[in-house]
């Protein structure tokens, strides 16, 4: 396997968006095999409830964190993972997520910012949402079915990522994490209470960090 395939390098399309749908299996496996799975932090842990620090160093330490995040995401059977979900106070998330057409997207975004959508692009999708940091709980949450995130890749290069459907939800969900918001913070008081009840009654299928 060439270095290009193993270091996560990917191309850009004619509109300036990264091409994150090619060699997904090989790229994800390369990240994961270099990484070490870590336990997941859950709601109530202070690192999840504040804005994370910007990534300013794009070197070996960040590369190892990204590898660990892919390993942790795979262990927890997730489709997206933010750094603070493994207790790291940095603005970076990884994803390995299908869109509504079944196309797989795999990548990394540092210092993500959601772009404002034009009114005609703000079509809401009221689907179920879950979170590795709120294990075993799900709730319906309306989000735009299209999202564009700009940020940087693992080497500090500027990138833009776009997604539709389920992948758009993932991009919004993970960006929220890095600014201190869980999806349950966007629910009504009643629905949030119900999600927390589901979490209390369930048993996570992966290792979590106990709060307190």
Q: What percent of the chain has pLDDT over 70?
A: 95
Q: Which residues are annotated as a binding site?
A: 131, 173, 177
CB 107 within 8 A of CB 10: yes
* 3-class DSSP assignment, residue 202: coil
Q: What is the crossing angle of helices 60-75 and 24-34, to 10°?
A: 110
Q: Which residues are annotated as a binding site for Fe cation?
A: 131, 173, 177
Instruction: Specify the residue for token string 């804005």.
Output: 51
Asked whether the predicted pLDDT for residue 5 surpasses 90, the reply is: no
pLDDT class of 120 with cuts at 50, 70, 90 = confident
**Integer CA distances (angstroms), 179 to 46, 49, 186, in order:** 12, 8, 13
Q: How far apart are CA 47 and CA 196, in angstroms?
A: 18
The helix/strand count (H/E) of the chain reads as 5, 9
What are the DSSP calls for 149-174, one per residue?
EEEE-TTS-EEEEEEEHHHHHHHHHH
**Catalytic status, residue 15:** no
Beta strands in the chain (DSSP E): 40-41, 80-82, 92-98, 104-114, 124-131, 134-144, 146-152, 158-164, 208-209
**Interval 144-174: pLDDT, tens:** 999 999 999 999 999 999 999 999 999 999 9
Structure tokens at 189: 């008081």
pTM score of the predicted model: 0.94
Q: Which of 33, 120, 129, 174 is catalytic?
A: 174
**Interval 8-57: pLDDT, tens:** 457 899 899 999 999 999 999 999 999 999 999 999 999 999 999 999 99
Structure tokens at 208: 């979590």
CB 35 within 8 A of CB 73: no
């Amino acid at each position: 396997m060439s270095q290009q395939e193993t270091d996560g390098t990917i191309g850009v399309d004619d509109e300036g968006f990264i091409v994150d749908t090619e060699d997904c299996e090989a790229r994800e496996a390369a990240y994961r095999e270099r990484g070490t799975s870590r336990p997941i932090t859950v709601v109530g842990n202070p690192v999840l409830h504040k804005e994370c620090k910007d990534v300013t160093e794009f070197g070996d330490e960040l590369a190892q964190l990204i590898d660990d995040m892919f390993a942790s995401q795979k262990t927890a059977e997730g489709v997206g993972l933010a750094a603070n979900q493994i207790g790291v106070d940095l603005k970076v998330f990884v994803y390995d997520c299908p869109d509504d057409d079944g196309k797989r997207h795999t990548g990394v975004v540092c210092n993500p910012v959601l772009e404002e959508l034009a009114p005609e692009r703000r079509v809401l999708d009221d689907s179920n949402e879950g979170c590795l940091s709120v294990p075993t709980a799900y709730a319906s949450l309306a989000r735009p079915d299209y999202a564009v995130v700009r940020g940087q890749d693992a080497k500090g290069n500027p990138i833009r990522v776009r997604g539709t459907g389920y992948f758009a939800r993932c991009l919004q969900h993970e960006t929220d994490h890095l600014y201190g918001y869980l999806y349950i913070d966007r629910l009504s008081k009643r629905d949030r209470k119900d999600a927390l009840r589901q979490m209390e009654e369930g048993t996570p299928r992966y290792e979590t960090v106990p709060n307190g």
